[in-house]
Amino acid sequence: MHYYCISFTHKNTDIATREKLSFSNETKKKELFKLIHSNNKILESLILSTCNRVEIFLFLGEIEGINTHVLNSLCLLCGVDKEELNTKADFYENSGAIHHLFSVASSLDSLVIGETQIAGQLKDAYKFALQEQRCGVHLTRAIHYAFKCAASVRNQTEISKNPISVASVAVAKAKELLNLENKTAVVVGAGEMSELACKHLLNAKANVLVLNRDLEHAKNLCLNLGENAKYDSIANLKQALNQYEIFFSATNAPHAIITNDLLEEKDYKRYFFDIAVPRDIDVKANEKNIIYAVDDLEEVVRKNLILREHQAQIAYSIVGTMTNDFFKHLSKLATLPLVKQLRLQADEIAKKELQKAISKGYLKNSDHEEARKLIKQVINVFLHHPSVNLKKLSGTMQNDSVVNAMRYVFDLKNENLEGLNLYKCEFNLENNHEI
């Protein structure tokens, strides 16, 4: 059995290819699940798709042929050449895959190191994989530990102090280019990235106008943002484009929504910040239309990397330790070693008690062998049903909690209560209510 990851990120894949590989559409994600699971070597899967990455995390029965199968599936669904994908993708196996997952969850692999959105995006990807019954106990263990690792990185370093996101970097770039105070910035979309952009714009003393298809959603967002935030329908996008000069766009649209045909000639400069993947803005850049996409913000990102380099080194040390701890943790969760430990513990107690009985005269020394055989038979009978039931649980969501509970109850290797509710998450499966 193997953990495996196929990774396309801002480090190895250009934005044009990442746009084609984007799985913000749930229907498209379901189709990819279906395609990759047509290979019976793939037992579990999880797809993480953000503006900067597409990660396919897998749990496999066998690794051979998996690259070809998954890349073929991506080619079929996304229309990208297989050779192009093969040269761009990073492939991680077992400890490498877990180390990469933990680094992603801890925001060490992000375009902006220390940004806080990735943990929520990973959690959403995990929930969706569970809903689609593509993610089971093995990836659940890994994801749970990834969140644990991310928490350790946050608590033991300052890497997320004054957190930076792609949205904040975009606003920072806007502040370098012009004075935002009392200017109105148009923000297209009302999702998490748009909300972050709005907050940073308001902190820069700008006013914001949120354009969104769902007016109720936009209204609620502006109520939370305060009096300097207004909202309108995206149907009025053309009017806004030709009235204001600063634009941020972060929708989940599968195609560009700000295009040349919507723009009228103006005698002033307009600044466009596209923080969506796929890109929202398809406008010809010139001296009057200045456009920044996600990959154009690297200069600000590099400054962020320099400032956080020392903290990142500490964080990577934590990730390495947690990766090793995870595999030790897996060995403790196996049912067969637990059954063996129970038998060894019972046998050790029986030997001690038998010696006490002989030394106190409860048994004759000549009866020692018969008594030992009887005790062994009693132990076998007593542990038979627990052993059978533990084996039945192997590979299920309940397995780990039961194993941890038994370790605690029988004081095996001094386990504590920490693991008894191992996979508590704000998401419940119909047949596995506590995971």
With beta carbons less than 8 A apart as the criterion, state whether 174 and 273 touch: yes
Closest CA to 197 of 242, 158, 165: 165
CA distances to 65, 108, 338 from 374, rounded to whole Å, are 53, 59, 23
- Is position 117 annotated in a ligand binding site? yes
- Is position 233 annotated in a ligand binding site? no
Indicate the Cα dihedral angle 315, 321, 324, 325, nearest 10°: -110
- Is position 361 annotated in a ligand binding site? no
- Is position 239 annotated in a ligand binding site? no
Which residues, at least 6 apart from 171, have a Cβ–Cβ distance to it below 8 Å? 180, 197, 200, 201, 204, 248, 273
80: β partners: none
With beta carbons less than 8 A apart as the criterion, state whether 415 and 407 touch: yes
- Is position 5 annotated in a ligand binding site? no
CA distances to 247, 272, 274 from 291, rounded to whole Å, are 10, 5, 7
- Is position 189 annotated in a ligand binding site? yes
Quick one: tokens of 413? 């290797």
- Is position 110 annotated in a ligand binding site? yes
Closest CA to 139 of 23, 1, 319: 1
CA distances to 2, 347, 388, 405, 416 from 409, rounded to whole Å, are 31, 17, 18, 6, 9
Which residue is catalytic, options 5, 51, 149, 198?
51
Closest CA to 422 of 137, 155, 154: 137
Quick one: tokens of 256? 């560009």
- Is position 256 annotated in a ligand binding site? no
- Is position 287 annotated in a ligand binding site? no
- Is position 52 annotated in a ligand binding site? yes
| Helices (H) then strands (E): counts for the chain | 15, 12
Helix, coil or strand: residue 230: strand
54: β partners: 8, 49
Q: Is 51 known to be catalytic?
A: yes
- Is position 243 annotated in a ligand binding site? no
- Is position 53 annotated in a ligand binding site? yes
- In order, the DSSP letters of 58-127 are EEES--TTHHHHHHHHHHHHH---HHHHHHH-EEEETHHHHHHHHHHHTTSSSSSTT-SHHHHHHHHHHH
- Is position 190 annotated in a ligand binding site? yes
CA atoms within 13 A of residue 348's CA, in its CB half-sphere: 7
Helix, coil or strand: residue 396: coil
Name the residues annotated as catalytic: 51
Which residues fall in the annotated binding site for NADP(+)?
189-194
Which residues fall in the annotated binding site for substrate?
50-53, 110, 115-117, 121
